[in-house]
Structure 1
Amino acid sequence: MVLEVVGGVTLAVLAFSGGLKGNAFMSWLPLDLTIASVLIVVLCVFFRAVRDVMNSDISLNSILPLSLWIVFLFPVMGMMDTDFSNEKVRILFSVTLLCAVAPTGIFRSRVAQIAFLAGLFLISLLSAGGTAFGSDNYADDYSNRLTLEGSTTIMTAQMVSAGGLLAFLGAFSPLPKKWRIASLLLAPVLLYVSILTGSRGPVVSVVISIVAIVLVAKSLRKYRVQGILGAVAVIGLGVYQAMQSGSDGVGRILTFVSGDDAAGGSGRSYIYSLALETSLENPFGIGWGSFLKFGHGYPHNILLEILVEGGVLVFIIVVILLMTAVLRLYRRSEGMLATAFLSILFVAFINAMFSSDINGNKLLWIALFAAFVIARDEDSSISGPDRDTSGDMRAPVGMTSTSPTPHWSPGPAH
């Protein structure tokens, strides 16, 4: 049980370690937060693997991310020999690879899945508090946009808005009624704080994800009307609070949504066009990190980045994996665990279409490969937290236990 909880929570910390480690509250750590998180996650994966081998309960789930990363080796051959490219590859084949492989082992336990979501939610609450009430929380000297001390506006918004999405889903969870109400009330507050950062991608991502999950999740089928009304209320209240605050971040996001953001819009459009034209001229890719030769570190769109640097074949494989992951989680979304992971995959992917690069979107890789170990709700009456929940990619061996894991299915939002 301890291994599962530590693994799940630490994986959540690793997903956002880049935005947390610069904060003053992390100064007590003798190690860099990312390095510390990596070491703990590696140990959890190792001990989980040892225990599975000892119990003859070996999982084959890690083959999928490892196979993808073997494909990722091909763009290494054609990349530029620069410090930027070398650093990108080093992170891609260490930290980012771990974020892809770790869920296939750690998330075999339902306890670890819940611990991961709880970790994300706790990080969101702490980040929102630090952003709203911190002493050094202004993003720059010429605006009143907020950020978590030691972080960026983009990373702050990602952390806070992810919690807002989970808070919204908490209103439909099997929690006691008072906690469901509290969760629903907390959702617009977290959305409000994320809007104050003025970071467009994460805010747009969470709004789209809230609407999408209400419309597609099987667990919310009986509560579709309540879900739609709740989504309208949460989004409307969060936006209204932000507009009343006089924050510069509100105007920045509204101009982006309305299409009036001439500077930001035209800049991104140029980069997207450049990436697309370059990919057409180089169907096998220009190599990881080589987009820098055009004056930009990356195209600010993960699919375009993979297309232009990795090539058409790598692009097609990633798109197929993404579509398969969404379909698997949708089919399993009778329960709230699968629904929560589907919503995290939604928000992480949409955000990756606007912000950061292939290494900066660690949450996307975690959610993507988590989809291949999340079980159907009807298959989840498994014995104990240590039993496999992946269903189809398991080497079966007759191991049984007597302590059932509780079912997590949705309750109505009152």
Structure 2
Amino acid sequence: MRDIGDTSASRGGNALFGPLSLALLIWAGSLKETPLFAWVPVDLTLASAAAVAVFTLDSRLRGGAATKAVAAPLLVFMLFLPAAVIVPAPTEASTSKVLTLFTISLLLAVTPFYLLRAPRQRTAFLIALVGFGLLSAANLVFAPTEVSNSPGRFVVEGSNTIAVSRIVLAAAVILLIAATVRGLKLALRVLTAILAVALTAVATLTGSRGPLIALLLAVGVTVITASVYRKYRVRAVLGLAAVAGVGGWYLLQSSQTAGLARIISALTGDAGSGPDVRAAIWSYTYELFLAQPFGSGWGTFDYFGTPYPHNLLLEVAVEAGILVLIAVVCLLVMSLVRGAREAVDWQTTAMLSLFVFAFANAMVSSDINGNRLLLVTAFAIWAVGKRQESTNPVDREVADPPRMRSVATRGAHSG
């Protein structure tokens, strides 16, 4: 099997604007009310979703069919359908959740097979995510807004602490992977590592703990499992440990902000009320699941005004039922295994790390529609990879052009 390469599906707008629109759609809900995008005269989520849909259709028409794995998201969302119709008394919240699930979320699951199937597309996508992280970090440093009910913690105006921390640390994840995978010049790898540490330090201003822990898990799991580190895994682990040690030492030696102090208290076990509230929600959700193991329907969960349990697997279990939960768990495990096996360059390795980062975040915050990065990366893993085979003759032509085939044929005949 061969990598798709830069086909007609990735030239022109699909090489840059398609992946850029996809990256923007992932963070649109968190950024559209911030000074960075508040000036846009239309809803940023709807505009970016429309752009993604157009570029996806263009990629399908010009670049040909996707791989057979594109059936995976369609099958998963078919399994989601029963939970959309069993809602006993649909409310505005449940209707909105179902509508978003089967429009924007479905689009996010399918589009990687068209907008992330070529190396140039994946590069543009990852660079775009780094760009959004840098913009958010700059806004957080130069124009911070103090959280009203938590003095000493800061956020980008129009967003929230968790969302900003996710955006900034997703960029840090990509930069850390780029710094550890061979291929870049040493000076550039050092620069990306320094920038990743700087972004991590900026993210601590929010005081959000989950995304930072997710970053540590993502990078750790990736270095331990990814194929690309097979020949130098120990050195990569030592290098990351050195970067983490230097960064941690600097943060501890510097004057601690309220946000950093909150994160340190969580890591040392003195976490305050946050985790206790989530623990209560999770316990309540588990009891609901035991009482109705085949699901109560999408959007039916409510815990004193909290519309979701802040845990993806519990959300699927309580609203869609145990059968759908088993299917989702199988998909996540298979994506992790495949992602580790197919992580053979910095792009596919970064995609794996983002998948782990997104999943870790999904286990402690937001809902299935809000965890857009997870939807994209879970299926992008099946759309990329050096062993991926294309059914498109144009792709095969790029991977094995006539001139190269003729040279190989002459060589075989002369032998």
CA distance in 2, matches of 1:35, 1:145: 31
Contact 2:226–2:339 (CA under 8 A) maintained in structure 1: no
Q: Which amino acid is the alignment partner of residue 35 of structure 1?
A: L
Q: CA deviation at 1:176?
A: 2.3
Q: Does the Cα contact within 8 Å between 2:83 and 2:295 map onto a contact in 1?
A: yes
State the partner residue of 1:144. Answer: 152
Q: Is the 8 A contact 2:174 2:350 kept in 1?
A: yes
The 1:351/1:58 distance shift into structure 2, 3 A limit, reads: closer
Letter in 2 for 1:116: F
Flag the 1:335–1:235 CA change in 2: closer, same or farther, 3 A: same
Q: 1:36 aligns with which of 23, 27, 47?
A: 47
SS at match of 1:305: helix
Summarize the Cα distance change of 1:60–1:171 in structure 2 as closer, same or farther, 3 Å threshold: same
> Given the alignment of the two structures, is residue 203 of structure 1 paired with residue 186 of structure 2, yes or no?
no
Contact 1:167–1:183 (8 Å) recurs in 2 = yes
Following TM superposition, by how much is the alpha carbon of 1:227 offset from its aligned partner in structure 2, in angstroms?
A: 2.0
Q: Which residue of 1 is the match for residue 397 of structure 2? A: 401
* TM-score, normalisation: structure 2: 0.88
% identical equivalent positions: 35
Change in 2 beyond 3 A, CA 1:402/1:310: closer
Q: Hey, what does 1:84 align to over in structure 2?
A: 93
Matches of 2:394 and 2:157, distance apart in 1 = 51
Residue 115 of structure 1 pairs with residue 124 of structure 2: yes
Query: Are 1:216 and 2:212 counterparts?
Result: no
d(CA) in 1 for partners of 2:394, 2:51: 30
Tell me which moved more, 394-403 or 331-340. Answer: 394-403
**Unmatched 5+ stretches in structure 1:** 380-389, 406-414
Using structure 1 for the length normalisation, give the TM-score. 0.88
Please state whether the residue corresponding to 2:180 is helix, strand or coil: coil
The answer to whether the 8 A contact 2:67-2:383 is kept is no
Question: Which letter maps to 2:92?
Answer: D
In structure 1, distance between residues paired with 2:293 and 2:50: 37
CA positional deviation for 1:141: 5.5
**Which residues of 2 match residues 171-210 of structure 1 at below 5 A?**
171-173=179-181, 174-210=183-219
2:45 partner amino acid: T
8 Å CA contact 2:145, 2:157 repeated in 1: yes
User: C-alpha offsets along residues 278-316 of structure 1, whole Å, 9 cap, x if unaligned?
Assistant: 111111111111111654211111011101111001101
CA distance in 1 between counterparts of 2:101 and 2:344 reads 34
> Would you say the 8 A contact 2:316–2:324 is kept in 1?
yes
SS of equivalent residue, structure 2 residue 360: helix
**Contact kept in structure 1, 2:344 and 2:385, CA below 8 Å:** no
Q: Structure 1 residues 302 and 402, CA, compared in 2 at 3 Å: closer, same or farther?
A: closer
The more displaced of 258-267 and 75-84 is 258-267
Does 1:225 find its partner at 2:234?
yes
**Which has the higher mean CA deviation after the structures are superposed, 166-175 or 304-313?**
166-175
Contact 1:167 1:186 in 2 (8 A): yes
The more displaced of 109-118 and 76-85 is 76-85
Superposed CA offset, 1:49-83 (max 9, x none): 11134xxx554343211111111111112224111
Query: Is contact 1:196-1:242 (8 Å) kept?
Result: no
Rounded Cα–Cα distance in structure 2 between residues aligned with 1:396 and 1:24:
43
Distance 1:254 1:293, change over 3 A: closer
Who wins on radius of gyration, i.e. which is larger? 2
Residue 333 (str. 1) matches residue 329 (str. 2): no
Task: Assess, with a 3 A threshold, how the Cα gap between structure 1 residues 242 and 78 changes in structure 2: closer, same or farther.
Answer: farther
Equivalent position amino acid for 2:25 in 1? L
Structure 2: 5+ residue stretches without partners: 1-10, 402-415
Runs of 4+ in 1 over 4 A off after TM superposition: 396-400, 402-405
Match of 1:299 in 2: 309
Instruction: Tell me which residue corresponds to 2:7.
Output: none
Aligned mates of 1:266, 1:402 — CA distance in 2: 55
Name 1:250's counterpart in structure 2. 260
Taking a change above 3 Å as real, the CA distance of residues 402 and 374 of structure 1, as seen in their structure-2 partners, is closer
Q: Give 1:14's match in structure 2, choosing from 25, 32, 41.
A: 25
Look up the match of 1:101. Answer: 110
In structure 1, how many angstroms separate the alpha carbons of the residues matched to 2:21 and 2:330? 29
The letter for the 1-side match of 2:124 is A
AA in 1 matched with 2:71: I
Q: Residue 162 of structure 1: which of 161, 170, 190 is its match?
A: 170
Deviates more, 1:64-73 or 1:141-150: 141-150
* Number of aligned residue pairs: 387
Matched, 1:127 2:136: yes
Q: Residues 385-400 of structure 1: matches in 2 within 5 Å?
A: 390-391=388-389, 394-395=390-391, 397=393, 400=396
Instruction: Describe the SS at the equivalent of 1:7.
Output: helix
Tell whether the 8 Å contact from 2:343 to 2:385 is kept in structure 1 after alignment. no
Assess if the C-alpha contact under 8 Å between 2:222 and 2:340 holds in 1: no
Instruction: Give the CA deviation at 1:398.
Output: 7.1
One-letter amino acid of the structure 1 residue matched with residue 343 of structure 2: S
Aligned-residue CA RMSD (Å): 2.0
